[in-house]
Every structure is written in structure tokens, then in C-alpha cells.
A and B are shown apart, each in its own frame.
Chain A
């Protein structure tokens, strides 16, 4: 009896396997018949967690670029997007990077979005010769790590930090600054660059580290820590405060600062440059007047804005780094077009040589992957909206 059962089980299992194989064979033959090969452009960034807005801004832009490219019908291939959610976390990023690299059809990646995640993931991308064009990873040391496949379409914090310091100390005239960073690769890097330049400009600088909170998916801190941190800031007597970090934690900090009675001017970098900052601040009035810098421009290209709004359901001018992500995708597509045979290593080589006119700027990369030439913009929160003031 048992023997017969085993044979039955074996027969069922074998036929099940055959049945599973048939659809796969079927699909292979139909794609062969279609003609154009399909390539995947990946996006790695925070698609969940406390900083997900920044990720959404970019991933919609990537999708838009790919949809538009496919719609022209003139490309010798079809494109798809693959999304890899690293939550902006350098401990999750390597897994996502390996996942991306294992995808045989993946040619290049837009991202990773966050500096810490980029530093953790690049070794995997580099080993597989997958080009990564980041719209937003601004940590200076990313370009000096000699990966060869790393590119970014924005100026790094080596430019943003000092430009912010010059703006706050020289242009706005603040002689004392309290510099806080959130302990992340990006925040600490930006704050250090800022503090060094502020000291050179002659301001009194006090530094502090207040780790990102667990509820913002930025670290292990607690929201209750900001009460003490805000008291410290107020007690320092500094007339201005610079925060190196992301909008979720800055929102909590701003609430604590207003509770502690801090009346100075607050400034932060591109990680906080988003309308989501106002939503994350309790009460929202505590975010009024906050200055936000960004190497990214507020998009004024109406065609792009219209198309982005239709796809994402929120306006492009509020979407920090959407324009840069759009350009990053298009420069990858342009590099792929220039090749006779599209391979990962081929795209890396092509990106090193390419000059592409994007919506935000003309893109040409330096040898180390940094963008050639750039400028920093400053924005301010006015009546609950982020308004661009101009160039720093």
C-alpha cells in the first residue's frame, strides 16, 4: 500500500513540475517572437519608513522617464522599472543591492537615494559593474572611494555645507551657530562641512549630535530626547541653528525647540527640504521661517511638471530631487542608446564619456563620478509652504 502511495506521490509531483515548466517555456518563446529585448532600470531608495516622501519624489520621476522613453517607440529595447526599498537604511541596503544585481535584466540603477545606503551598497554594485546614478546621495567620500561605477547628478556636501555656512554667517550675518547632526552618514558629513566653513567665516560654533529616532526610521533615539536637546540648544545662546539630517527628525526637533523657547533661526540641508517637514512638525507653526538648502532646483519646466503631476498626484515643484531623478534615468537611457550591445559594463563606460542636456542641468561626469559644475539653492518655509528664495 505504502509503495503504491509513494509512486502516486512521485507521479503527481513530476506532473506538477512539468506543468510549472510549461508556462515558462511558453513565455520564453513569445518574448523571442516580440523582438525587442527588455531591460530593467532599478531604483533604490526609501519607499517605506519615516523618509518615504523623498523616495516617492524620485521613483515617480524614474517611472515617468521610462514611460516616456517606451512611448517614443524609437528605442531598440523596452524598459521596465524595478523598485528596491532600502528605507534609507544602510543595514537594509546591501540586501536590496544584491537583489538588484541578481536580476539578470537589470542594467543600471538610479540611486541609492541616501548616502549611508549608498556607501553600504556600492561594493555589491561595483563588483557586478552595475552603474549607479544617484540623484541625491551627497556625502563627499562617496566619490573618493574609487568604485568606478558610482555617479551622481548633484553637487556633494563638500559644496552644500560650506555654501550654507557662507549664507548663514556672511549673507545673513549670524555670528553664533549651534550645529546639530543626526549621526547619519549624510547628516554628520553635512554638519562637519558646515561647521568647518562657519568657523573659517568667523562664527562661534557649538556642535552636538542628537541621534535620529526609531520612529523616523533614522536610528535608535526616542522622540522624548529632543526636550533635553532643545534645552541644550537654547542654553548655548546661539542665535542660529544648523541641523544636518532629515525632515522627519527635524520636525520633532523643531517642536521641542519651540517648546523650549528657542527663538533663533533654524537652517537645514536638502534632507529636510520637503513640504513633508511641515507635516512632521508638531505644532506646524514651529516650522515657520526655517531655511532649507538644496543642490536641487525647484522645477520650472512646465512640460515635466504637468507629466509628473499626472503620474504622481502631487506637484513636481514640491518634489525634492524629482528633476534630478528624471535626469539620472534619462542619462542612463541615453548611455544605453549609444551602445551597440547593451551591457552593464558598457553602460558604465558610456556614462563616463557622455554629455547630456537634462531638465535641471547639463550632465557631464567627472572621473570620480561627481557632476561637473553645480549651484546651491536656498528655500524657506513661509505660511506652511516651502518657497524658493534663490541661489545662495
Chain B
């Protein structure tokens, strides 16, 4: 007991020193995961489909953002001040638009034909996986297999300190963008007419259509919204970590885990699941080696599902919020 207590104490001391810096990093990662998770959860809500090609929507947003930044910044020095804000805004717009377009194309090509034919759920799954493979290999062929770093639209510096932990510009951008997107999306789903339509389709598609909701249009818009957020997350990821054709795989897998953790189909669950996953992943580095972060992440998922199979906030398909 003495040795174990010593071990815990040593780690507690380390944790105290690094806690806030790890926490800040975890929140930033968590927001990224949450933004991608929203796409999974919304589509699952209305279609009962896990859109495995969402990782490629994320990648498309990343590449769109990369090309936009390469066009505006090129290999010159990173700009500062208002120019930075403008460029980041343009980048998010580009990423979000590209993601939304790709999501629409996916919906039309990979899923709508199956809906017309009343295909079994398995067919959607196979179609999604096939679309994912096709898209990232196409990206690999078109853009090459070498990873490239994105020209920076700002100079990364410490903006402020949180209990001694430096918070970099990159994280601040993620915080602001993430917050705006989550709050905006939450309002959209819970307060707007469109949101009511999405929730109605999620609850009972047939009855919703009898009540006058245009199913096809609602599903299309759901894909667009999820795709826009996923694409914007792709741009943010590209800004910090560069782009490569396989960039979608792991972040999307983590995001899917986050969506299930928070309750698949539940919008707020996706956001909170993302944050929890990001924070716990980051903090677990104190106790286990970085090599075992994934073990911790998926271990948490298993534990939560054992206790609460519908996820933390529950699977409230009828109320996507």
C-alpha cells in the first residue's frame, strides 16, 4: 500500500503542476472532437445511419482550408491583427462550405438511392464505408501522399495564462469558434422551425411527413449542417496539424466515440462527449504513457456504456437537443 500510495502521490504532484496546461489542451481537442461528433449524431438521429464517410467530410474541409490559406498567405510571413481574423474567417467559411458540399454529394450519391429502394440498414453501412475508402484514396491520388503543413494565417503566441498555463492563439481560436458553433447549433435545433423539423423527422419520419415536413429536404439540410461543422473542424485541425489524405481516420473515430459516449442522436451529448473525451485523454498522460491514451479513452467509453448503455445524456432521438 505504501508503494502504491507513493506512486499516487508522485502522480498527484505532477498532475498539479501540469493540470491546467493539460486541461486547456484537452478542452481544445475536445471541442474539435465535438464539432465532428455533431455530424455523426445529427445524421444518426434522422436516418439511424452511422455516416462512416464523415471522416472524409472532415478531410475535405481540411484540404479546402489548406488551399485557401495557400492562396492567400502562400509562403510569405504570417499576417497579424485584422488580416489574421479575416483569413481565419475565410478559412472556416471555405472549410465549412466544402464540408457541406461533400456531405450533400454523399447524401445524394451514397444514401438517397438506398432510401428510395427501402434498403436494409446494412446496405447503408456498406455504402458509407465504400464512400469513405473511395474518397480518401481519391484525395491521396489527387493531392499525393505526403503530409504538408498549412501556411499560418496568424503568429502563434501566448494570449493569456490560466493558472499559470499558457494558452496559445491556436487554442483561443478553437475555443471561440467551437463556442459559437455549439451555441448556434443548439439554438438552431431547439428554437428554429428547421430544428423542429429535424427533431420531428428524428422522432418519427412518417408522421412528420404527414404533418407537412419535407423529409428529403430536412435530411439534406441535416447533412449540410453536420457537414459544415465537420468541415470547419477540418480547417481548424489543418491549421494546427497540417493536411494529409489520411487525416480523417483517427479524429473521426474519436469523434464517433465521443458521440456514443454522450448519447448517439443527442446533440448536446455529442458536444459534451467530445469535451469529456478530450479532457480525459489529455489528463490520462500523467498516469499512463502517451502510448496508452487510446486505451484510457476507449476504456472510459466501455465503462460508461456498461453503467448507462444509452450514453451520458441518453439517446433522445426525438429531441436531438
Contact = CB atoms under 8 A, between A and B. Distances in A.
A in complex with B: yes
Contact of B285 (A220, A222, A229): A229
Interface stretch (A21-29, A36-44, A164-172, A274-282): A274-282
Contacts of B294: 220-222
Interface string A213-227: 111110011111101
Contact of B25 (A211, A227, A251): A227
Interface stretch (A252-260, A311-319, A367-375): A252-260
Contact of B156 (A232, A248, A283): A283
A217 B250 CA distance: 11
A183 B22 contact: no
Nearest to A56: B146
Interface stretch (B40-48, B220-228, B234-242, B265-273): B234-242
A52 B145 contact: yes
A318 B137 CA distance: 29
Interface in A195-233: 208-211, 213-217, 220-225, 227-229, 231-232
A269 interface: no
Interface in B211-253: 237, 239-242, 244, 246-247, 249-251
Contacts of A346: none
Nearest to B243: A215
Given A210-B290, A220-B250, A235 B145 contact: no
A294 B164 CA distance: 39
Q: For A50, A217, A225, A280, which residue has the most chain B Cβ atoms within 10 angstroms?
A: A225
Contacts of B146: 50, 52-53, 276, 279
Contacts of A210: 289-291
Given A209-B290, A232-B290, A276-B146, A223 B78 contact: no
Q: For A223, A261, A276, which residue has the most chain B Cβ atoms within 10 angstroms?
A: A223
B166 interface: yes
B112 to A, nearest CB: 31
A255 B168 CA distance: 12
A122 B150 CA distance: 39
B32 interface: yes
Interface string B32-69: 10000000000000000000000000000000000000
Nearest to B282: A228
Interface string A45-56: 000111011000
Contact of B147 (A208, A227, A280, A284): A280
Interface residues of A, number: 43
A252 B290 CA distance: 15
A281 B26 CA distance: 21
Contacts of B237: 223
A259 B242 contact: no
B148 interface: yes
B182 interface: no
B170 A228 contact: no
A261 B158 contact: yes
Contacts, number: 135
Contacts of A258: 156
A128 B17 CA distance: 57
Contact of B149 (A228, A231, A251): A251
B22 A208 contact: no
Taking chain B's interface residues, is the majority helix, strand, or loop, or is none over half, making it mixed? helix
A260 B20 CA distance: 12
Give the interface size bracket for B toward A: 35 or more
B230 to A, nearest CB: 15
Interface string B276-303: 0010011001100111011000000000
Given A231-B25, A279-B149, A280-B148, A259 B249 contact: no
A215 B32 CA distance: 16
B14 interface: yes
A259 to B, nearest CB: 5
Nearest to B146: A52
Contacts of B21: 231, 234-235, 260
A247 to B, nearest CB: 10
Contacts of A225: 281, 290, 293
Contacts of A283: 78, 149, 152, 156
A248 B281 contact: no
Contacts of A220: 250, 294
A260 B171 CA distance: 11
Contact of B29 (A213, A227, A234, A281): A227
A281 B250 contact: no
B206 interface: no
B204 interface: no
Nearest to B140: A48
Contacts of A221: 250, 290-291, 293-294
A259 B156 contact: yes
B244 A252 contact: no
B245 to A, nearest CB: 9
A258 B150 CA distance: 16
A258 B247 CA distance: 21
B241 A228 contact: no
B172 to A, nearest CB: 12
Contacts of B25: 227-228, 231, 260
A255 B278 CA distance: 19
B199 interface: no
Nearest to A183: B291
A251 B243 CA distance: 12
Given A211-B291, A231-B282, A280-B242, 7 more contacts: A52-B145, A209-B290, A225-B290, A228-B285, A231-B18, A258-B156, A283-B78
20 contacts: A50-B244, A52-B146, A215-B250, A222-B250, A224-B29, A225-B281, A227-B28, A227-B29, A228-B281, A228-B290, A232-B18, A232-B285, A232-B290, A235-B17, A235-B21, A255-B242, A260-B25, A276-B146, A282-B150, A283-B156
Which 9 residue pairs across A and B have the least CB separation, nearest first? A227-B25, A282-B149, A222-B250, A228-B285, A223-B241, A210-B290, A224-B29, A209-B291, A228-B282
